[in-house]
Amino acid sequence: MSVAACAELVQRGDPDRFLAVMAAPPAARAVLFPLYAFNLEVARAPWVASEPMIAEMRLQFWRDVAEEIGQGATPRAHEVAAPLAGVVRGEDAGLLDALAAARRWDIYRDPFEDEAHLADYIDATSGNLAVVAARALGAEAGTEAALRDMAWGAGIAALFRAVPELEARGRVPLLDGRPDGVRALAERALARFRRGKAGQGALPRKARAAVYAFWQTEALLKLAVADPARVGDGRLATSEFARRGKLLLVSMTGRL
């Protein structure tokens, strides 16, 4: 029932990831739903309260959960914490802590300091989640570089899709929101995603569901390269037919 509760949270709050998990084998779903529910709780923590201190406390709660998992302690009572502790290796809990810590940027209105700051934020959020998911599904050493490359591209695509809402909330999500700046960032993200995609064969089949959530990434980044105005206008999306068709292909082949 705890995994089912995680699945319901993801279905309501992150429907694209929910579809990606449902395309995975049942055994992988039991691992991915708690991780994605944790990610959802952390991602929305900065936005559920207008007071920064409250948001900081919510993020600290999840950092404490990660610390408890790392120490092998019984996690606190929460519908996500217990199932999360059941799938995350203790040595990987630090990656979840770093993910939650990076989300502090979302609380405040300061822009990214520079390209390195943006790159680190994407790697700590999207990258850490992908690595923990793959390891929980049985990935071994030697696959992290490809995972982080794919996740970095996916993180930029997700940031692009969030730009209109972030700007409406008074945030500055991009270092250069002009068309040339958006295109340049999309090109870098697409190149890195394709580099990671080329190395996905190193992932054991049982761990490939960790990248199913990236099934739309390449198409979205290509759209951003071709028409950067889609990002600011909130038009960065593919057709429903293309979305469903790509996910079906991924589920059948186990590859992006």
pLDDT per position as a tens digit, 247-256: 999 999 999 9
Cβ atoms within 10 Å of 126's Cβ, excluding its own: 28
pLDDT per position as a tens digit, 20-66: 999 999 999 999 999 999 999 999 999 988 899 999 999 999 999 99
pLDDT score at 76: 87
Q: Is 141 helix (H, G, I), strand (E, B) or coil?
A: coil
- Mean pLDDT for the stretch of residues 200-228: 96
Residue 1 — pLDDT band, cuts 50, 70, 90? low
pLDDT score at 122: 98
**pLDDT over 80 (residue 136):** yes
Question: Backbone phi, then psi, for 192, in 5-degree steps?
Answer: -70, -40
Residue 121 — pLDDT band, cuts 50, 70, 90? very high
